[in-house]
Amino acid sequence: MKKSKVYFTKNINADSLIKIYEKLGVELTGKVGVKVSTGEDGSKGYLKKEIIEPLVKKINGTIIECNTAYPGKRNTAEEHMEVAKKHGFTKFAEVDIMDEKGEFKIPTPEKSKHLKYDLIGENFKNYDSILNLAHGKGHAMGGFGANLKNQSIGIASRNGKAYIHSCGHTEDPDLCWTDKHEQIDFIESMAEAATAVSDYLKVNNKPIVYITVANRISLDCDCDSNQGPAVIGDIGIFGSLDPVANDQAFIDAIWATNEEGTKDIEERIDSRCGRHITEYAEELGLGSTNYELISID
């Protein structure tokens, strides 16, 4: 089986981020969307301006986001934009809250068990190419968050997020949190949504590349206003054309650490069936868990 290439550097800075992007060999052109998490008000781990600004400017990218399903400071476009300003994103790029004026449905894979469709921000249609720029960390509901989560929950509209969180049972953000389902079904729903986005881009001949910055790795996501401290040291930056391989490389790197907090992040991931997302995404044809890690250092 052919291995997917995953490029890696231990150096987490703006220059290394650009080098990883250039190694991928795909020039993102036209109107470029850069999908990052703007971070909930009060969070600490979102990707900072000093690391990502040079690359975003290099590709003339627009920061793209969608509103949250949970109550907070980012569940309306107006408040979400205020948080984006507070966290510094508007200082170096245009920010587009893609579901501010609507949403649209895209098909999920035929093999999908849970979602009949994916519901994503209306403005996603406007972009010619995409940089999926994720922050690798733990997550209270998914176990961990990297490129697959960034592409599923991250690109889904507010109602689409509710649909994924409820495993296809409701689009209502007020009802999704009380929906009864198995945890593994939620993990699989995220994989189905991520694959739907990839398929949509392929059908429309729009390229996408994947980068994960693994720094300040806390147990909780950047969507948590009370996000705790890092539990293990910074790992590095991963880049690939295959999101499954890139997420798998990040997970494997966590398991290869031997620090006081390693067991905590491993427990967080496995208690949420987190590692299943790469297995199921591979079954759906999104990518491969078989990869070659190529250091650029």
pLDDT tens by residue, 54-92 = 999 999 999 999 999 999 999 999 999 999 999 999 999
In whole numbers, what is the pLDDT of the chain averaged over residues?
Answer: 97
Taking 80 as the threshold, does the pLDDT of residue 252 lie above it?
yes
d(CA 123, CA 53): 22
Cβ-based neighbours of 19, under 8 Å, separated by 6 or more: 9, 296
Q: What is the pLDDT of residue 268?
A: 98
Q: What is the pLDDT of residue 206?
A: 98
Query: In percent, how much of the chain has pLDDT > 90?
Result: 97
Residue 109 contacts residue 133 (beta carbons within 8 Å) = no
SS3 252: helix
d(CA 29, CA 208): 11
pTM: 0.98
d(CA 40, CA 167): 23
Q: What is the pLDDT of residue 144?
A: 98
Taking 90 as the threshold, does the pLDDT of residue 1 lie above it?
no
d(CA 79, CA 289): 38
Taking 80 as the threshold, does the pLDDT of residue 37 lie above it?
yes
User: In the chain, what are the domains?
Assistant: 4-295 (3.40.50)
Beta-ladder partners of 9: 237
Per-residue pLDDT, averaged over 270-285, amounts to 98
Taking 90 as the threshold, does the pLDDT of residue 4 lie above it?
yes
> How would DSSP label each residue in 138-207?
EETTTEEESHHHHHHTTTB-HHHHHHHHTTTS---TTTGGG----HHHHHHHHHHHHHHHHHHHHHTT--
Per-residue pLDDT, averaged over 27-50, amounts to 96
Residue 266 contacts residue 273 (beta carbons within 8 Å) = no
Q: What is the pLDDT of residue 236?
A: 98
Taking 90 as the threshold, does the pLDDT of residue 224 lie above it?
no
pLDDT tens by residue, 190-208 = 999 999 999 999 999 999 9
Q: What is the pLDDT of residue 113?
A: 98
Per-residue pLDDT, averaged over 173-177, amounts to 95
8's tokens:
């890696």
225: confidence class by pLDDT, cuts 50, 70, 90 = confident
